[in-house]
Structures are given as C-alpha cells and as structure tokens.
C-alpha cells in the first residue's frame, strides 16, 4: 500500500497558508482541507440560529448535529451548511471575527477536530489551520508554521477584500487581525501555536513562489 503523506500548515490569518496549501495540494496531487472554512460555517450557523458566538449554551444546542459537509467540486473545496453551498458567504468580513470567537468554544473544536481527523484518516492531504500540527494531526509527516508581520498580513487581506468589491478601512482591518491573533493565541483549548517540531517560515519578505519552493524543498527531501 502506498504511504500516505500528511502536511500541517499553521499560522495566523493572512500569513499566506491557504495559497501555499493550494499550491502544495496541486503539485503533490493530494487533498487540501481548509479547516478555517469549517469554523466559519459554524459561525454562520450561529448567525442563522440567532446565537451569539460566545454563547456556549446556545452553540451547544446545534453543534453536535450541525449539517456541515465538505465536498470537492472540480478539485476545489466547497463548504455546505444545511445543504446550501456557503463557500462565498463564509468569506464575508463579519463572519471572520465570529469564526474566531466561536472557535474558542471547546465543544466546537472537538466537533471540528473529529471531522478533520475523519477526512485525513485515509488520504494524503495538506491541512491548514491554527492547531493542525499541535493538536489535530500531531503525527503529521511535515509541519510548517507560516507567519508574517501584522502590517504585511493586513495589507494582503486589504487587497484581497478590495478585489472582491468589499469597502474596508485599512486601520480597522489591521486592528481586527490583531484582535483575531490575540483570540486565536489565547483561547484555553488548542490555541494557535507553533508545534515544537514545526518549521517556522516568515513570509513577510517572500513571494508566494519562494515560500512554496521552501516548503517543497522540505517535502521533496
Ligand atoms: O483561517 P481562517 O481565517 O479562515 O479561520 C477563521 C477562524 O477560525 C480563525 O480566526 C480561527 C479559527 N480556526 C481555528 O481556530 N482553528 C483552525 N484549525 C482553523 C481556523
């Protein structure tokens, strides 16, 4: 049987993880799972149910039976909530902060981690997130912690949102990213952290191509 390979990519938002994960998945012909999409869809569910993202009791009423599915259409991940393709909706700016808040709840994390491990169980894959190398797949074959200065990350997100037609204030966006960094690093359960055996890559002054080549350099060794 062919050996499965699993790659964990962690880091704060805007560090370039998802672009790198997509490139790796296509170069190595392995599945890419964007785990942030799952927390975003859970935030959307809370909005639908009129539940605040910090309301543990309210979230507990739906989390175990959440109808959340990841499907691959022409090789691209689509996220379905209650049968609806919410892949675009979950990218709306107001969902980002809610996703960060809701992801601090233990019940949410346990449910998402179960689903992620189930997907990763029988296939070669690259997962990007916050806790992949440290918690979800501690035995991953390769682990990378991708980061960049907050200024650079805010700038990347700013351009991305403008391209999608969203009106955003740069300083507001930067503040929001700092707040999300703080939330993600300081939650009690499985916070954002660099796994001890992860390779640290600061992408502030690197092109996507340089980062991909660096990562591939390790994977192809
Ligand atoms: O990667 P992203 O920006 O789409 O993630 C949205 C939020 O989900 C992020 O602020 C923190 C949370 N998240 C998490 O807690 N653990 C993961 N593995 C992935 C995302």
pLDDT of 195 reads: 96
pTM score, whole prediction? 0.94
In this structure, which residue's CA is closest to atom 4 in ligand 1?
Answer: 36
Domain residue limits, the chain: 6-215
Over residues 122-136, mean pLDDT: 97
Verify whether ligand 1 is closer than 6 Å to residue 184 (CB atom).
yes
pLDDT band at 166 (very low <50, low <70, confident <90, very high): confident
pLDDT band at 208 (very low <50, low <70, confident <90, very high): confident
Over residues 155-180, mean pLDDT: 92
CA distances from 134 to 54, 106, 192, 198 (A): 24, 16, 8, 9
Over residues 3-30, mean pLDDT: 94
Give dist(CA 172, CA 147) in Å, integer. Answer: 20
Place of tokens 């980002």: 96
For residue 71, pLDDT beyond 90: yes
In this structure, which residue's CA is closest to atom 8 in ligand 1?
Answer: 36
In this structure, which residue's CA is closest to atom 18 in ligand 1?
Answer: 129
Over residues 178-199, mean pLDDT: 94
Of 42, 21, 18, 59, give the one whose Cα is nearest residue 216: 21
Query: Rounded to the nearest whole angstrom, what is the distance from the C-alpha of residue 106 to the centroid of ligand 1?
Result: 14
Query: Rounded to the nearest whole angstrom, what is the distance from the C-alpha of residue 100 to the centroid of ligand 1?
Result: 6
For residue 3, pLDDT beyond 90: no
pLDDT of 1 reads: 65
Query: Rounded to the nearest whole angstrom, what is the distance from the C-alpha of residue 167 to the centroid of ligand 1?
Result: 22
Mean pLDDT, the chain, integer: 94
What is the pairing mode between strands 76-81 and 125-129?
unpaired
Are 97 and 159 in contact by the 8 Å Cβ rule? The answer is no
Query: Rounded to the nearest whole angstrom, what is the distance from the C-alpha of residue 2 to the centroid of ligand 1?
Result: 31
Q: How many other β-carbons are positioned within 10 Å of the β-carbon of residue 77?
A: 17
Verify whether ligand 1 is closer than 6 Å to residue 187 (CB atom).
no
Verify whether ligand 1 is closer than 6 Å to residue 130 (CB atom).
yes
Predicted confidence (pLDDT) per residue in 135-152, tens digit: 999 999 999 999 999 999
Query: Rounded to the nearest whole angstrom, what is the distance from the C-alpha of residue 39 to the centroid of ligand 1?
Result: 6
Contacts of 87 (CB under 8 A, 6+ apart): 37, 77, 78, 79
In this structure, which residue's CA is closest to atom 17 in ligand 1?
Answer: 129
CATH classification (class only), 6-215: alpha beta
pLDDT of 6 reads: 97
SS3 33: strand
Verify whether ligand 1 is closer than 6 Å to residue 157 (CB atom).
no
Of 140, 146, 130, 132, give the one whose Cα is nearest residue 186: 130
Ranking 52-61, 72-81, 156-165 by mean pLDDT, the lowest is 156-165
Query: Rounded to the nearest whole angstrom, what is the distance from the C-alpha of residue 162 to the centroid of ligand 1?
Result: 21
pLDDT of 105 reads: 96
């Amino acid at each position: 049987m062919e050996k499965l390979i699993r790659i964990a990519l962690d880091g704060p938002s805007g560090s370039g993880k998802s672009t790198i994960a997509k490139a790796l998945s296509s170069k190595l012909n392995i599945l890419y799972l964007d785990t942030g999409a799952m927390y975003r869809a859970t935030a959307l569910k809370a909005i639908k149910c009129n539940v605040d993202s910090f309301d543990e009791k309210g979230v507990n009423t739906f989390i175990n039976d959440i109808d959340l599915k990841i499907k691959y259409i022409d090789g691209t991940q689509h996220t379905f909530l209650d049968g609806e393709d919410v892949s675009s909706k979950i990218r709306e700016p107001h969902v980002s902060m809610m996703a960060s808040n809701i992801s601090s709840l233990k019940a949410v994390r346990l449910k998402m981690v179960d689903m992620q491990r189930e997907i990763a169980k029988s296939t070669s894959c690259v997962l990007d997130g916050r806790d992949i190398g440290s918690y979800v797949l501690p035995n991953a074959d390769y682990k990378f912690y991708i980061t960049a200065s907050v200024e650079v990350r805010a700038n990347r997100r700013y351009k991305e949102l403008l391209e999608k037609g969203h009106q955003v204030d740069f300083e507001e966006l930067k503040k929001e990213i700092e707040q999300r960094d703080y939330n993600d690093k300081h939650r009690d359960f499985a916070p954002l952290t660099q796994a001890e055996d992860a390779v640290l890559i600061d992408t502030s002054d690197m092109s996507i191509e340089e980062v991909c080549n660096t990562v591939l350099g390790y994977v192809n060794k």
